[in-house]
Amino acid sequence: ARATIGLTGLAVMGRNLARNIARHGHTIAVHNRTTAKMTALLDEFGDEGDFVGSESLEDFVASIQQPRAIVIMVKAGEPTDAVIDALVPLLDEGDIVVDGGNAHFTDTLRREQALKEKGLHFVGMGVSGGEEGALNGPSIMVGGSDDAYEKLGPILESIAAEVDGTPCCAHVGPDAAGHFVKMVHNGIEYADMQLIAESYDLLRSVAGLEPAEIAQVFREWNDGDLESFLIETTAVVLDHTDAITGKPFVDVVKDVAEQKGTGRWTVQNALDLGVPVTGIAEATFARSLSGHTEQRAAARKVFDTEPEGAPLDDRDAFVDDVRAALYASKVVAYAQGFDQIAAGSDEHGWGVDPGAMATIWRGGCIIRAQFLDRIKEAYADEPDLTTLLTTPYFANAVTEGADAWRRVVATAVGAGVPTPAFSSSLAYFDGLRREHLPAALIQALRDNFGAHTYARVDRDGTFHTAWAGDLSEVES
Ligand code: NDP
C-alpha cells in the first residue's frame, strides 16, 4: 500500500479535490463507482501527481496505508450511506472515513456514532468553494476526533485556500460540527445573495440603471467595505451580454431561483434552536416565492397596478443609500448566522470557536470577503461576545448606515419593490434595539386565553390574572 489518502466519488468535486491533493505531493488512491470516471481522471490529469487508481473498492482500500484516511465525495443522503456500508467491512480499527459531501449534520451525528462503535473514526468535512475551490483551494470545515484531525489536518491544510499565510481549514469540533457550520455558511450565502439581488432590483427598478451601469456600481462597491467574491461576481454577471439575443444576460435567465436544501436546513435548525435568522429565512422564502410561477401569474393579473412611489430626486444619493443598507443588512445576516453557530455549538457541546470560522471563510469559499477580517477581530477582542452587532466596528457601521437603511426600505415599500431581506434585517435591528417590545401584549394574551402566566416588570415571580373571574392576580 503506498497511498497516504484515498478518495472515492470522482464527479466534479471529488475529481478536483483529488487533483488538488495530488498536486500537493500526496499520493492519492482514487476510485469511482463507474470506473470510466476514474480512468478519465488518470488519462487527463495523471501527470499532475501520484495517483493510484483502482476499479474495485477492495483494491482501492488495499492501496491505502494504515491507518487509512478515505474521503467520500458522492451524492449526499442515501448514496453516502451506501458507500459507507460497502467500505466499512473492508476497513480496520483506527481507519478514518471522511464524508466531504453536503451531508445534513444529523446524518453525520448518526454515522459518527455507528462507526465509532466499530472502532472507526468518522469525519464530517464541509467543503466550500464549488468545483473551482476544490481544485485550487477550498475552505474546509472539519468535524471529528482529535486523532483523526492529527492525521488529516496536515493534508487538508496543504490543499486549502490561504489568506495571509493562514490555511482556510480548521478542526471545528467533534462529529458533526464541521457539517453544521458548513450548513450555516450556506445559509449566510443565501442571505448575502438575496441582499445583493434586492440591491440590484432597487438600482434597476427605482434608480433606473441598466445592468451594465449596475455592474459598474458593484465594481465601485467592491473597492470598499463590501469587497467580496459575491460582489465582484455580481459585476461580472451583470456585465455579461447574451450571445443569442444581445440582451443583458440577466434578462434572459428565468427569474426562478432553485435551491438544493442547505438554506432550508439552516432555517429549520434555527427554528429548533430558537435563533432568529430572519435574513436567511427571508432569502430562502424569496427563492420559494420565485418558484411559484402560477401564483405569480395569477397575482399579476389581479394586482396589475404599479404603485407610483415618490420620485427619486437624487439618484447618486440613492445608490449610496443602497450600499449602506446592503452593508448594514449584511452585518445583521452574519450576526444572525454566528448566533446560530454559537447556539448549535452549545446544544451539541462542540466548543466551536466562531472567530476561527470567520478566519477560514476569508478564502476559498463563496462568502469570502474582507468583512470576515472584521468578524475575526471582533471575536479575538471578545471571544464570548453577545452579538456581533454591538461590537465597536459593526455597531458603528450599522449606526452610520441606519438612516440610509430606513430611507431605502421606505422607498422600496413606496415603489412596490419587494426587499424582504433588507426589511427583515432592519426589523431585527429595531427589535433588538428597542426598549419595549409588544411581546408584553402577546404574553398577556397568552395568559388570558391559555393561562400561560406572565412575569412582571416590577416584581419577581410568575403571575396569572383570573380573566374569566374577578380579574384578581395570583402568584403561581
Ligand atoms: P454529485 O453530487 O453529482 O454526485 C456524483 C457522484 O456520486 C458520482 O461519483 C457518483 O458515482 C456517485 N454516486 C452516486 N450514487 C452513488 C452510489 N449509490 N454509490 C456510489 N457512488 C454513488 O457530485 P458532486 O461532485 O457535485 O458533489 C459531490 C458531493 O460534494 C455532494 O455531496 C455535494 O453535495 C458536495 N458538494 C458539492 C459542491 C458543488 O459545488 N458541486 C460544493 C460542495 C460540496 P457514478 O459516477 O458512478 O454515478
Residues 240-267 have pLDDT tens digits of 999 999 999 999 999 999 999 999 999 9
- 160-183 pLDDT, tens digit per residue, is 999 999 999 999 999 999 999 999
Return the higher-pLDDT residue of 22 and 476: 22
Confidence of residue 311 (pLDDT cuts 50, 70, 90): confident
Q: Using a 6 Å cutoff on CB, does residue 130 contact ligand 1?
A: yes
Q: Tell me the average pLDDT of the chain.
A: 97
Is the model's pLDDT at 309 over the cut of 90?
no
Does the C-beta of 76 come closer than 6 Å to ligand 1?
yes
Nearest Cα residue to atom 4 of ligand 1? 75
Atom of ligand 1 nearest to the CA of 34: 47
Mean pLDDT for 102-130 is 97
Cα of 208 vs centre of ligand 1, distance in Å, is 42
**pLDDT greater than 90 at residue 448:** yes
CA of 15 to the centre of ligand 1 (A): 10
Name the residue at shortest CA distance from atom 9 of ligand 1: 9
pLDDT attached to residue 425: 98
| Lowest-pLDDT choice from 53-67, 136-150, 210-224, 377-391 | 377-391
Closest residue by CA, ligand 1 atom 38: 130
Task: Give me ligand 1 centre to Cα 170, in Å.
Answer: 23
What spacing in Å lies between the alpha carbon of 198 and ligand 1's midpoint? 32
Q: Choose one of 13, 85, 182 to mutate for the ligand 1 pocket test, by most ligand atoms within 8 angstroms of C-beta.
A: 13
pLDDT at 1 over 80: no
pLDDT tens digits along 326-352: 999 999 999 999 999 999 999 999 999
Q: pLDDT band for position 461 (50/70/90)? A: very high
Average pLDDT over residues 309-316: 90
What does the pLDDT read at residue 310?
A: 83
Q: Cβ(74) to ligand 1 under 6 A?
A: yes
4, pLDDT greater than 80: yes
**Which ligand 1 atom lies nearest to the CA of residue 10?**
9
The residue whose CA is least distant from atom 35 of ligand 1 is 101
Closest residue by CA, ligand 1 atom 1: 75
Q: Is 177 in the pocket of ligand 1 (CB under 6 A)?
A: no
Cβ(358) – ligand 1 distance below 6 Å: no
What mean pLDDT do residues 263-272 have?
Answer: 98
* 260 Cα to the center of ligand 1, angstroms: 13
Mean pLDDT of 105-113: 98
Q: Is the CB of 133 under 6 A from ligand 1?
A: no
> Is residue 467 very low, low, confident or very high in pLDDT (cuts 50, 70, 90)?
very high
Q: Model-level pTM?
A: 0.96
**Binding site membership of 10 for ligand 1 (Cβ less than 6 Å):** yes
Ligand 1 pocket test, candidate residues 74, 87, 135, 140, most atoms within 8 A of CB: 74
**For residues 318 and 261, what is the distance between their CA atoms, to the nearest angstrom?**
35
Is the shortest distance between the CB of 103 and ligand 1 below 6 Å?
no
Predicted ipTM? 0.98
Mean pLDDT of 21-40: 98
Distance 164 CA to ligand 1 centre (A): 32
Task: Specify the range with the lowest mean pLDDT, choosing from 6-20, 201-215, 298-312, 438-452.
Answer: 298-312
308 pLDDT more than 90 = no
What's the 297 CA to ligand 1 centre distance in angstroms?
36
Q: 73 C-alpha to center of ligand 1: Å?
A: 6
pLDDT for 331 equals 96
The residues annotated with a catalytic role in the active site are: 182, 189
Residue nearest to atom 13 of ligand 1 (CA): 74
Of 10, 75, 127, the one to substitute when testing ligand 1's pocket (max ligand atoms within 8 A of C-beta) is: 75
